[in-house]
């Protein structure tokens, strides 16, 4: 394992319908510790997040940057960091970068020159697992705000490739054992 790719909402921070400003960005318990664990273990850490409210006109790239500045400040103060954040502003489901399409993940693999099987994508919805599957990454699903149903309702070909855990902190402990 070289590269950890994280979905953002529901994995790092609590999922709201929209997170539109820094005040609404709230870390999930244990997420900061998990990212510090990844950093300590020497992994490259990236985020791939759908942010269609940009193209919907609900907020701007500057607003998104402000949210990410707050997130990075808190992570760095606690021994974590994110090496690269990519986002898809589009709400067009045919956009190759919008999850469940794998474009953002493929972009990160190319950028860091990492083979798909040396990367894991950690998300909280089936669309994340589908994107990771199509990119050839290893897959971890964390329980989302609706409970375990997301995992149980996934098609078998995704379930077979997916490790299901409760939280990002638990995911960090699973990955420790992969090495
Ligand atoms: Mg999510």
**CATH superfamily membership of 3-178:** HAD superfamily/HAD-like (3.40.50.1000)
Ligand 1 centre distance from Cα of residue 3 (Å): 19
pLDDT, tens digit, 9 for 90 and up, residues 10-62: 999 999 888 888 999 999 999 999 999 999 999 999 999 999 999 999 999 99
pLDDT higher than 80, residue 123: yes
pTM score, two decimals? 0.97
Backbone angles phi, psi at 84, to 5 degrees: -155, 135
Q: What is the CA radius of gyration of the chain?
A: 15
Q: Exactly one of 9, 81, 134, 156 is catalytic; which is it? A: 9
* Structure token pair of residue 103: 């474009």
Q: Exactly one of 7, 29, 81, 124 is catalytic; which is it? A: 7
| 50: CB partners within 8 A, 6+ apart | 87, 88, 98, 99
| Residue 7 known to be catalytic | yes
Domain layout of the chain by residue ranges: 3-178
Find the helix or strand (DSSP H, E) in which 110 lies: helix 103-112
**How many Å separate Cα 176 from the centre of its chain?**
18
């Amino acid at each position: 394992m070289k590269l950890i790719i994280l979905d953002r909402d529901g994995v790092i921070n609590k999922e709201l319908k929209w997170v539109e400003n820094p005040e609404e960005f709230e870390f999930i318990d244990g997420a900061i510790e998990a990212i510090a664990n990844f950093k300590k273990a020497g992994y490259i850490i990236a985020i791939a997040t759908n942010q269609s409210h940009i193209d919907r006109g609900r907020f701007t790239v500057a607003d998104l940057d402000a949210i990410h500045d707050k997130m990075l400040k808190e992570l760095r103060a606690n021994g974590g960091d994110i090496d690269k954040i990519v986002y898809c502003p589009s709400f067009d489901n045919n956009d190759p970068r919008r999850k469940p399409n794998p474009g953002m993940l493929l972009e990160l693999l190319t950028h860091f020159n990492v083979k798909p099987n040396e990367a894991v994508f950690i998300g909280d919805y089936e669309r994340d697992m589908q994107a990771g599957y199509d990119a050839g990454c290893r897959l971890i699903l964390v329980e989302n705000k609706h409970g375990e149903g997301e995992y149980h309702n996934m098609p078998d070909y995704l379930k077979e490739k997916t490790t299901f855990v409760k939280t990002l902190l638990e995911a960090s402990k699973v990955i420790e054992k992969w090495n």
